[in-house]
Amino acid sequence: MLNTDTSGIDKSGSFTLGGKAIRRLGYGAMQLAGPGVFGPPKDRDAAIAVLRHAIESGVNHIDTSDFYGPHVTNQLIREALAPYPNDLLIVTKVGGRRGADASWLPAASPEELRQAVHDNLRNLGLDVLDVVNMRLWGDHGHAPAEGPVERELSVLADLQQQGLIRHIGLSNVTARQVEDGRRICEIVCVQNHYNLVHRADDALIDDLAAKGIAYVPFFPLGGFSPIQSGLLSDIAHRLGATPMQVALAWLLKRAPNILLIPGTSSVKHLQENLAAAELVLPADALEALDGLGKSA
């Protein structure tokens, strides 16, 4: 069985993001909010415990947004972790808001972006944000779609000049938008949908790796067919691991610039996710897992 002692998660190596050497297996705070990422958590004490356990286990990269809740996850992070460890990198995102019906809505006007940055600062209890990802909505929020990025990034670049943001990233974007963005400001990370079977960004990941830019995939188990998930479960069973652990281990193996932010509201699941850094995938398992992407 896989060892779930997470004290050595740095075995997966580190990557420099935002001027800090961060461990490649981090934590995403999205699931700390209520159902549908809306409202308060069912168990606030449990949410606080998860955040503190993540830091105690060596996590030094947390991904969040003030539109999770809204405001909920950032307020939980502040309550649980402030004053923050010196090596902790908190990455947030702007560009969206929540409707009263819990809907996800674009919010990318200059006024909305400036307000979002100040909301993140206030709710996290920070004077400056380490990294802010500009989240584009593309195909109605479901997938990237070509379009200009200059207006949004110019606003963030101005806030960066004011000293409110240290570094800027992009989320839900195409390769062309990354290149367009890099002509406006330095882009330190890209956050897109990518996993074993959703591999449209293969070329982008390799290009970013060559440039020293981090790639942060979301939905590590999203978009699997029943056949594909069945094959993943079979491999996981053979290795004495969970499907999520195998999917995360494959992503760590895929490229050195991939940083992971699996989220959970459970300490037990957090321990399982972090233990994926210790999972060694044998050659035949890697070959089978690579084949899942070809069958997508």
Q: Which residues are marked as active site? A: 68
CB 60 within 8 A of CB 10: no
CB 2 within 8 A of CB 278: yes
Q: Which of 4, 5, 15, 7 is nearest to 261 (CA)?
A: 15
Between CA 7 and CA 59 the distance in angstroms is: 10
Angle at which helix 267-274 crosses helix 243-254, to 10 degrees, equals 40
Complete DSSP assignment for 261-288: ----S-HHHHHHHHGGGG----HHHHHH
Strands 14-17 and 20-23: antiparallel
52 beta partners: none
Reply yes or no: is the peptide bond before residue 83 cis, omega within 30 of 0.
Answer: yes
Between CA 296 and CA 286 the distance in angstroms is: 16
Between CA 253 and CA 238 the distance in angstroms is: 19
Between CA 258 and CA 215 the distance in angstroms is: 5
Handedness of CA 275, 278, 282, 287 (dihedral sign): positive
